[in-house]
Chain A
Amino acid sequence: MEGKMTKTRILMQEFDYHSPTTLEEALSLLDEHGDEAKVMAGGTDLLVQMKQEVIAPKYLINIRNIQDLSMIEHGKDLKVGAVVLLNDALHFIRGDKRFRALSDALESLAEVQVRNMGTLGGNLCNASPAADSAPPLLVYNAKVKLASAGGERTLPLEDFFKDVNRTDLANGEMMIEIILPYPEEGTGGAFMKTKRVGADISKISCAISVRRERDICLSSKIAFGSVAKVPIRIKAAEKALRKEKVTETLLLKIGELIMSEINPISDIRSTAEYRREMAKVLFLDVFDLAWQRAGDNE
């Protein structure tokens, strides 16, 4: 966790607290208070940032009690309310062959306690480049629905992340839903991350979703976390794999290509050099697993 260390035993900041039970109430509060307000779901990122004095909202709007935002259901797409707890999302999709990259990622996200507090919406809106739910949601072509007092809009997740801890959310706007279209037949997905200890934020993470026909890669989506200011898809690598016969030579070449496409930094968790080297290794491991799973799903 970056930011200067101050007191963490108590929360020094003063603010007004609201706990709306309907979306309308929440949006009205957001509209009234604009950038002086912060939406709070689990609080696992927000309260840490407040303790470190990185942010100082005057109003906290707890959205955990808005029932409409806590639904997760199958339909034309898989729809996940923004306030669905990470553990509830994990239990819902565990074993679902269509979303293995996401269940892998949720399993590796922090620890049980944080997953009983944190939400998928919160993980995305906090917009850490290391957000574990982001690479799988990117490879599954997820869309996010945002709402404000003025209306709603839906956009692809890859247009949502703008910079470190910055999203496309305008003043008065909040995320209400994450939409996952179902992958096509013959698709397999996987996610892995490297980290220091079990519950750590990633040094580097990778999600792949690949569509397979025997030994041909029909198409793939490849996303990385912690290698740029935002979670990113490596489209050059996806293009190089399209409709190709999968061989070890090709995969090694793609690994090298990925190394040249990313822009990692050195920080408290790892170095740019290590991240760059691991990008290739992680790609090979994740692709291998996603490829196997695609074969099982053909």
Chain B
Amino acid sequence: MKKKNISITLNTEKREISVLPNELLINVIREELGLTGTKCGCGMGQCGSCTVLIDGAPVLSCLTLALSVDGAEITTIEGLESPDGTLDRLQESFIDNSAIQCGFCTPGMVLMGSDLLTKNPSPTEDEIRAHIKGNICRCTGYYGIVRAIKNAALR
């Protein structure tokens, strides 16, 4: 296997990196690019903790080959806050609504909430639950997370 150069836009910054064919996007993000907000939970596409946005669409980075995102725009949880450090309304809402315990599912949940609100500015509880059904939380029982997303819509 040979390394190949790819260029990506990561949280609005252009980056050039060199990757092997079998490198997964999640590991490139966490290790080569040093952004550890994205988590590896199950590694098989069932827990959603590895969620990132590729060209604006939420996908699972544990099942994405780095080579396949050459030329793409990638947004991780770190990219959600403003350049001056102001938190996104969803991040504020998660804090205010006790939606975080261990925090492991949080980046994925926040990104999915953000994705939902761009498409549906005032979702019902059912719509929220359907949108996050690929993200597992072992701590909160989901109630605070659903409330956080619902309330973020009102901010």
- Chain A residues engaging chain B, CB cutoff 8 angstroms: 1, 7-17, 19, 42-44, 47-48, 51-52, 60, 62, 64, 87, 110-114, 116-117, 197-199
Contacts and interface: CB of A to CB of B under 8 A. Distances in A.
Contact of B134 (A13, A42, A48, A110): A110
Contacts of A14: 1, 21-22
Given A11-B22, A15-B1, A111-B133, A44 B60 contact: yes
Nearest to B1: A14
B74 interface: no
Nearest to B134: A111
B21 A113 contact: no
Contacts, number: 93
B45 A198 contact: no
Interface stretch (B36-44, B98-106, B147-155): B36-44
A219 to B, nearest CB: 33
Given A9-B27, A15-B1, A198-B129, A116 B63 contact: no
B59 interface: yes
A43 B43 contact: no
A11 B24 contact: yes
A62 B68 contact: yes
Nearest to A1: B44
B68 A64 contact: yes
B57 interface: yes
B58 interface: yes
A114 B60 CA distance: 7
Given A9-B62, A114-B60, 11 more contacts: A7-B43, A9-B43, A14-B21, A14-B22, A19-B67, A43-B64, A44-B45, A60-B21, A111-B135, A113-B45, A113-B59
Interface of B: 1, 4, 21-24, 27, 40, 42-46, 48, 51, 57-60, 62-65, 67-68, 70, 112, 115, 129-131, 133-135
Residue of A7, A13, A87, A112 with most chain B CB atoms under a 10 A cut-off? A112
A130 to B, nearest CB: 14
A64 B115 CA distance: 22
Contacts of A87: 57
Nearest to B21: A17
Contacts of B45: 44, 48, 113-114
B143 to A, nearest CB: 15
A14 B2 CA distance: 10
Contacts of A47: 63, 65
Contacts of B24: 10-11
B65 A48 contact: no
A111 to B, nearest CB: 3
B65 A198 contact: no
Given A17-B21, A17-B65, A111-B48, A116 B1 contact: no
Contact of A8 (B21, B42, B68): B42
A92 B64 CA distance: 25
A52 B115 CA distance: 31
Nearest to B22: A11
A26 to B, nearest CB: 15
Contacts of A42: 63
Contact of B63 (A17, A43, A52, A112): A43
A113 B1 contact: no
A12 B21 CA distance: 11
Contacts of B131: 112
A132 to B, nearest CB: 14
Contact of A199 (B23, B27, B134): B134
Contact of B59 (A1, A10, A116): A116
Contacts of A117: 59-60, 63-64
Contacts of B23: 11
